[in-house]
Amino acid sequence: MTSVGIDAIEIWTGNLELDLPGTFAPAKGEDPEKYTKGLGLQSSSFPDSYEDIVTMGANAAYRLMDRKGLEPVDIGRIDVATESAFDNSKPVSTYIAGCLEDVFEGDFHHANKGERKFACVAGTQSVDDAYNWIRAGRNRGRAALVIATDTALYARDDPGEATQGAGAVAMLIDEDPNIVELSTEQGYGSADETDFLKPQQQFPSVDGKRSVQVYLARMREALEDYESVAGDTHPDNFSYIPFHTPFPGMVRKAAALGYRNVIRDTDVEDTLADEIGRQPRPEAFGDDDAFLEATKEYTEALTETDHYQTWYEGTIEPTLTISRSVGNWYTGSVHVARASALQHALENDVDLAGEKLLVGSYGSGAQAEVHAETVRDGWREEIGALSIDDQLERRYSLSFAEYEAIHDAHNHDKDVETTELTTPEHEFVFDGWGRMGERKYRFVE
């Protein structure tokens, strides 16, 4: 069977940075530790006035194609996943293709282009679409370009303002991939939920506390569904477990729930029984509330054990490094988490080829998806080529007044004079409006 998966990745961050404990928390009269300890965030990325989902996506894709020596003729499909689209008809992928055609020889006239929407899970769904297209034998030897790009901005003073971010991840999906091969097995947890939505509005309506609960409930369903096709999972089977990361504190909760589920009826539960007892079983309780309370207590005790903490430090913590510095990138977040884990392996000289990852994606509205990935021999070279650390270093650090101004500059309901805080270099920039209200772009050398 053809091996299909992620052959290359490039990450592009918005060029501005907001220091959350240092700048945002004091201005809001909040304790900085809400950010560092509670949400697990140090800073978030923001787009400068000349950046948007097209420039960030095109810049990530440009770097990827340039580095891999690709031309448009090598790409048979361009899918963009976003929940920040500005057009209900013309897909963002056409804008990005237009940008790329300005700098590469040839065109994408025979590539299938589209846009995927299902909140933050759409990035993984686009990877899936590409996988299916290749496995169906319809790709004519060509690869697919998947771009997850978002400006995750919330209305001022919404609780979500704490978890903003902006950036793009471009992925090349191909046969015989260099980074990871995707499992055929997948699990879904999907239900009609009202936790986060944008009914014809730029900034989301969010029930933040509910979205946390829905994330956990759908993720548990997806894990159970995955196990029903792939067989029982065991924590020792996976080197890293990248989750969708709206903020690292969310993953702390998801990891505890996931670990509790996968150790049930295993040697790990047996080993820990002397210390914290066995997991509560529903049949031992008269009502649901008592069972849930006992489960909550067991989970809290579990996360205090050395056993759990060692697993968390090795398997989950490394997936969160980039996220702590960039905030929520919506569709790109789980793909940033994977890249972060692989960077950790590279820095620590871990021999990962042949090892497995378990990937948990989530989108509000709501759907979770779980699948496994097998790391391929070429992962080192690909991950070693990432420039995200340099990009993060180069970001311009915003004062609170500048943050307010840049938030206004990106607010579609406000008409404000914008000044650039950074100087674009070797990247695509927004270049004003066309006669039909289309957005225009150009490449700055």
Active-site annotation, residues = 83, 120, 244
Could you tell me what percentage of the chain is helix, strand and coil, using 3-state DSSP and rounding each to the nearest 5? 45, 25, 30
Tokens of 246: 């709206």
Number of residues that bind ligand COA (CB under 6 A): 20
Given a contact cutoff of 8 angstroms between Cβ atoms, the answer to whether 359 and 342 are in contact is no
Interface with ligand COA includes 206 (CB under 6 A)? yes
Give the nearest distance from C-beta 150 to ligand COA in angstroms: 13
Q: Does residue 243 come out as left (phi exceeding 0), alpha (psi in the -120 to 50 range) or beta?
A: beta
Q: Which amino acid is at 114?
A: G
Q: Choose one: 59-67, 103-111, 160-168, 345-353; the region binding ligand COA (CB under 6 A).
A: 160-168
Interface with ligand COA includes 34 (CB under 6 A)? yes
Q: Which of 26, 106, 159, 384 binds ligand COA (CB under 6 A)?
A: 159
Q: Choose one: 35-43, 76-84, 107-115, 226-234; the region binding ligand COA (CB under 6 A).
A: 35-43
Given a contact cutoff of 8 angstroms between Cβ atoms, the answer to whether 181 and 6 are in contact is no
Q: Choose one: 9-17, 21-29, 211-219, 423-431; the region binding ligand COA (CB under 6 A).
A: 211-219
Angle between helices 288-304 and 306-315 (to 10 degrees): 70
Q: Choose one: 13-21, 122-130, 139-147, 206-214; the region binding ligand COA (CB under 6 A).
A: 206-214
Residue 95 to residue 438: CA distance in whole angstroms: 9
Interface with ligand COA includes 246 (CB under 6 A)? yes
Kindly tell me which of 131 and 196 has the beta carbon lying closer to ligand COA: 196
Kindly tell me which of 217 and 346 has the beta carbon lying closer to ligand COA: 217
Alpha helices in 245-399 (DSSP H): 248-263, 267-276, 288-304, 306-315, 321-326, 333-347, 379-384, 388-394
Q: Which of 14, 47, 160, 235 binds ligand COA (CB under 6 A)?
A: 160
Interface with ligand COA includes 210 (CB under 6 A)? no
Q: Which of 110, 138, 156, 209 binds ligand COA (CB under 6 A)?
A: 209
Given a contact cutoff of 8 angstroms between Cβ atoms, the answer to whether 131 and 359 are in contact is no
Peptide bond into 162 cis (omega under 30): no
Point out the residue whose Cβ comes nearest to ligand COA: 38
Interface with ligand COA includes 25 (CB under 6 A)? no
Tokens of 397: 């650090």
The interface with ligand COA within residues 354-393 (CB under 6 A) comprises: 364
Q: Which of 163, 178, 343, 391 binds ligand COA (CB under 6 A)?
A: 163
Interface with ligand COA includes 33 (CB under 6 A)? yes
Maximum CA pair distance of the chain? 72
Kindly tell me which of 230 and 301 has the beta carbon lying closer to ligand COA: 301
Q: Which of 309, 220, 198 is nearest to 264 (CA)?
A: 220
- Write the DSSP symbol of residue 319: G
Kindly tell me which of 32 and 114 has the beta carbon lying closer to ligand COA: 32
- Please give the C-alpha separations between residue 175 and each of 1, 124, 378, in angstroms, as whole numbers: 10, 17, 13
Interface with ligand COA includes 38 (CB under 6 A)? yes
Tokens of 326: 């960039």
Interface with ligand COA includes 211 (CB under 6 A)? yes
Binding region for ligand COA (CB under 6 A): 31, 33-34, 37-39, 159-160, 162-163, 206, 208-209, 211-212, 215, 246, 249-250, 364
